[in-house]
Amino acid sequence: MARPHALTPGFVARADAQTAAVAWLDRLRHERRAARHTLDGYARDLGAFLKFLAGHLGEAADLAALAKLEPADFRAFLAARRAEGLAASSNARALSALRGFFAHLAREGLAENPHAAALRGPKLPKSVPKALTAADAAAALDIDDDVPWIAARDKAVLSLLYGAGLRIDEALSLNADALPLGETLRVLGKGRKARDVPLLPEVRDAIAAYLRLRPPSTGNAAPLFVGVKGKRLRAEIVQKRLRALRLDLGLPDTATPHALRHSFATHLLGAGADLRAIQELLGHASLSTTQRYTAVDAERLLDIHAAAHPRAKA
């Protein structure tokens, strides 16, 4: 499998544009610490754009051609993607990738294109996080496997998602230096921003059970969660586990690793937790992101309002 920042045969561009693309993706990977799936997505989107330009312009684009692109050229790219049936969310991500790439070109003095910064994506419907019920979330943690340490590992990872609200990348990036576990765990989130999350006894117990069974490893830099070959566990393995659980337990299609994080926030909100506190626990930079969960529990909030507001009491 190609490295997430490596150019693939789908990247059609002149040498100078290819070099700039590699440098941008490397910067995202090493300086911005972008997640693997983000790098994969941006690489695909940029590759699709450069391939489109080769046909649109009649030849592979170089940096000079990128600097000369007009708004109509970007609109033609989006129109082609819509004609292929790609969703608005895919186009929005592609535009985000292009803005980032052209900003990199300008920052490095390679090419200036004022139209790229002005790109505006399609309006996306506000999506409500799809949380599991408490019963379904508990069922997802009841894991069986022919190999006991793998079952314990997967339960420990999923326990961190549902019991501590971690993103899957945050859980899998943990190293042995996080041990011994206490009542809180320091996590590096998006943008390498650190936050402390409390660990429930059940979560600590799940991780302890895994540690007792896992193959031995050495050094504080060793990954906490490993695959069968001893390397850092990949998100795809956890996703595959949940797909199997959906079939075995009859869980909804929305039962994904990220849905467990959504469930963590939604169930806290349903129990009366403060929205600001949930924001801190999730590592959201903006409260507006956390506020999406209020739509999930709108009925409960209306009840609280009716019970607490002076006019409502009157």
Catalytic residues: 167, 190, 258, 261, 284, 293
Cα–Cα distance between 91 and 80 in angstroms, integer? 10
One-letter-per-residue 3-state SS of 122-188: CCCCCCCCCCCCHHHHHHHCCCCCCCHHHHHHHHHHHHHHHHHCCCHHHHHCCEHHHCCCCCEEEEE
Q: Is 119 exposed, middle or buried (0-12, 13-18, 19+ CB in 10 A)?
A: middle
| Torsions phi, psi for 91 (to 5 deg) | -65, -40
DSSP assignment letter at 231 = S
Using CA atoms of 98, 101, 107, 110 in order, give the dihedral in degrees to the nearest 10.
-100
User: Are the C-beta atoms of residues 140 and 162 closer than 8 Å to each other?
Assistant: yes
**Cα-only R_g, the chain:** 23
